Structure formats: C-alpha cells, structure tokens
C-alpha cells in the first residue's frame, strides 16, 4: 500500500509553471495512439485553379511575385501553406517573356509540367526546357531560375518539403537579385548522360550528394516505359502499373525528402485499400477516376490535383478508360527515420 500524499497536489502543480516544468502524467495528447490526421483527402479542380492562376497573371508579374504560384491548401490544416502535414503543393504560372529570378533555399522542390511548351528551369548551371509530363528536380540549396521563351503560358505543379523544413526549423533562403544564373553545362546534359540507369557516366565523377544528379525526367521516356510495362502486367494490387522515379546513382528516391511516382491504372481498375504513414499529392495526367480517402469519394479528371494524407485509408479506381497519375510523397523521410508504417485495410463504401 502506497502511503497517502504528504504534499497537496494542487499546491505542487501551481508552483511548476514558474520553473518551466510540467508533469508528464498530466500531459494530454503527448503520446497519441495513432497519427492525428488533421489533413483531409481533398481535390483541387484544374479548370478552377487554372482560371484563377491565369487571372493572377494580370495581378503581378513573375518577377514581382518572385514565384507566381497559387498554393494548394488542405482545408483541414487551418490555413497552413500545406497540402498534407509535410508536403507543400502549388501551381505556378510563367508567361511568355517572363523570368522567375535566381534563388535557392533549403526546401527541395519537384516540378511536374502540366501545360505549355518551351519554358525552362535552370538548376546549378544546367538549363532544361520543360514539356508537359516532364519531372524536373531542384534539390535542396541548388540555384534555380525559371523563364518562358515560348509564346504561350506555362503552368506546372510545384511540390516542396516546406512544411517539414519549417517544422524542423532549418529554413534558409538566398536571393541575390539576379534574373538568371550562369550556365556551365550543355542544356539537358544530366538527362542525356544518366538516361540509362544501367550505364554510368564515369566523367561525372563520384556523385556524393544525396539527391539525384538528373534535372529532367522527360515524359517521352516515362510514357514509353509505362506503356510497355502495361502491355506485360497489371502491376500491383494497390497502385496498378506503378514506377518510382529513381536516383540513377543508387536506385533510391530522387530526393532525400521527396519521392515521386507515376502509375497507370488500366480501364476499370479497382485498387485494394491500404494506409501508410507517408502522405501523397497526386496529379492526374490523363483519364478519369476516383480515390476513396477515409470513406470520402474524391472524383478526379485530367489536370486535377488531390491529396491523400498520411495514415488515411485510400483506394484508387479508374473509369472506363485508362488513367495515369503522377504523385510525390514524404516517404523517403519516413523511411530513412524508420517511421514508415503500412497496413492493409478493408474496401471502403463511398
């Protein structure tokens, strides 16, 4: 038998704040049984956001804005600049003749090109002209600037790890006030030199960085590989014919904080349900379909973007025609910290 307390608990507790201590046994919600899941499954319709984005072209120039982007906010996250807890997403517009000036930041970025033909991104001395479906990387702390030398608007989806970098309290940003960086390599050199993961360009030396050396993963290649595989296989039960974009040096994710994937769902595909601690933002390249997220049915079509928060039960379904989805995730972060957890789930009603 424990002896009765000899100290009045309330007197004890009232003394503590002055010393900046609190009793763990009275803390609520410190050790939660499962992820809090404030972010919700949600869709941003391309026709709606595109209309607003084009209108924003009459509000600011790309140079005035630094980056003319409409950020995609998850309605569950209380106005935070985040599509899921750790992932930022936005749609960026660069009009003909505009430049989004050179800068660099600790946050890493991926771009997936939605429309336009002939805008470029330059990354650490290499320029890449971007076409719809291309995946372009601007890894942590690399200089990058964008410009549009074509005669039409250019729109792409930005994916960044900003919420995570800010939570870790390690943001850095530099903007030297120059439009363009000096180009030190032939245009698209990295895409050509590393085009075949099975052939390693030895003159590129011993690549010691944790991100992929490739700036642009062109859609022409991605689409051919997807289509050839789809002729052979139905792929996986959850994601159909799915490929991860890799760093050709080690076969791992393209960036240490962001992973990217592309998947083909055959006509009538009905995926199995599951959940994992990693979250994803999807962009619909082609086709129509629906994803059920925690019991809510999100229908999607070409150009739409949708978010599946971490630990949300989800399952994808394609309509009467095949669908192709691009996605980016925080999976590499969780994987490298031993925090990636996956669980099967029952098919949902919605």
Among residues 19 and 173, whose Cβ is nearest to ligand GTQ?
173
> What is the distance between the alpha carbons of residues 312 and 41, in angstroms, rounded to a whole number?
8
Among 62, 160, 215, 313, binds ligand GTQ (CB under 6 A): 160
Residues 49-78 that bind ligand GTQ (CB under 6 A): 67, 69
Sites for ligand GTQ among residues 13-32 (CB under 6 A) = none
Write down the least CB distance from residue 92 to ligand GTQ, Å: 6
Number of helices followed by number of strands (H, E) in the chain: 7, 22
- One residue of 74, 84, 86, 92 binding ligand GTQ per CB under 6 A: 92
Both tokens of 350, joined, read 């919605």
Among 281, 285, 279, 280, which residue's Cα sits nearest to residue 264?
A: 285
Residue count at the site for ligand GTQ (CB under 6 A)? 9
- Nearest residue to ligand GTQ on Cβ basis: 158
**Closer residue to ligand GTQ (CB): 105 or 314:** 105
Rank residues 86 and 92 by Cβ distance to ligand GTQ and give the closer one.
Answer: 92
Hey, which residues does 144 pair with through a beta bridge? Answer: 103, 123
* DSSP annotation of 46: H
Query: Is residue 115 classed as helix, strand or coil in its secondary structure?
Result: strand
User: Which residues are within 8 A (CB) of 71 and not within 5 positions of it... i.e. 6 or more apart?
Assistant: 81, 88, 89, 90
Whole-angstrom distance, CA of residue 237 vs CA of residue 223: 21
> How would you list the strands of the sheet with 42-44, edge to edge?
42-44, 305-308, 280-286, 323-329, 259-265, 241-244
**Judged by CB, which is closer to ligand GTQ: 174, or 234?**
174
Site for ligand GTQ in 97-156 (CB under 6 A): 105, 109, 144
**For residues 105 and 253, which CB has a smaller minimum distance to ligand GTQ in the complex?**
105
**Nearer of residues 158 and 315 to ligand GTQ, judged by Cβ:** 158
- Closest contact distance (angstroms) between CB of 100 and ligand GTQ is 6
Site residues (vs ligand GTQ, CB under 6 A): 67, 69, 90, 92, 105, 109, 144, 158, 160
């Amino acid at each position: 038998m424990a002896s009765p307390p000899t100290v009045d608990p309330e007197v004890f507790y009232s003394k503590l704040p002055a010393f900046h201590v609190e009793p763990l046994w009275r803390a609520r919600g410190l050790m939660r049984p499962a992820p809090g899941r404030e972010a919700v499954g949600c869709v941003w319709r391309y026709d709606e956001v595109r209309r607003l984005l084009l209108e924003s072209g009459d509000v600011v120039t790309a140079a005035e804005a630094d980056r003319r982007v409409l950020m995609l906010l998850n309605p569950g996250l209380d106005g935070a600049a985040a599509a899921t807890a750790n992932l930022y997403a936005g749609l960026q517009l660069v009009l003909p003749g505009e430049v989004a000036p050179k800068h660099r930041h600790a946050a890493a970025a991926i771009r997936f090109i939605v429309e336009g033909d002939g805008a470029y991104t330059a990354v650490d001395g290499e320029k890449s002209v971007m076409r719809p479906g291309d995946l372009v990387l601007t890894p942590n702390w690399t200089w990058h600037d964008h410009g549009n030398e074509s005669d039409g608007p250019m729109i792409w989806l930005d994916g960044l790890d900003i919420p995570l970098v800010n939570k870790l309290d390690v943001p850095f940003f530099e903007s030297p006030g120059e439009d363009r960086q000096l180009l030190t390599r032939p245009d698209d050199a990295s895409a050509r030199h590393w085009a075949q993961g099975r052939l390693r360009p030895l003159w590129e030396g011993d690549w010691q960085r944790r991100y992929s050396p490739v700036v642009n993963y062109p859609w022409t290649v991605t689409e051919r590989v997807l289509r050839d595989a789809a002729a052979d296989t139905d792929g996986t039960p959850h994601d159909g014919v799915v490929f991860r974009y890799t760093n050709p040096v080690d076969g791992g994710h393209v960036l240490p904080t962001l992973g990217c994937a592309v998947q083909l769902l055959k006509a009538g595909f009905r995926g199995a349900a599951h959940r994992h601690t990693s979250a994803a933002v999807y962009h619909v390249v082609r086709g129509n379909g629906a994803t059920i997220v925690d019991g809510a049915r999100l229908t999607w079509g070409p150009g739409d973007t949708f978010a599946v928060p971490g630990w949300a039960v989800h399952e994808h379904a394609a309509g009467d025609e095949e669908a192709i989805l691009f996605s980016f995730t925080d999976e590499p972060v969780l994987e490298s910290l031993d925090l990636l957890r996956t669980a099967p789930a029952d098919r949902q009603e919605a």
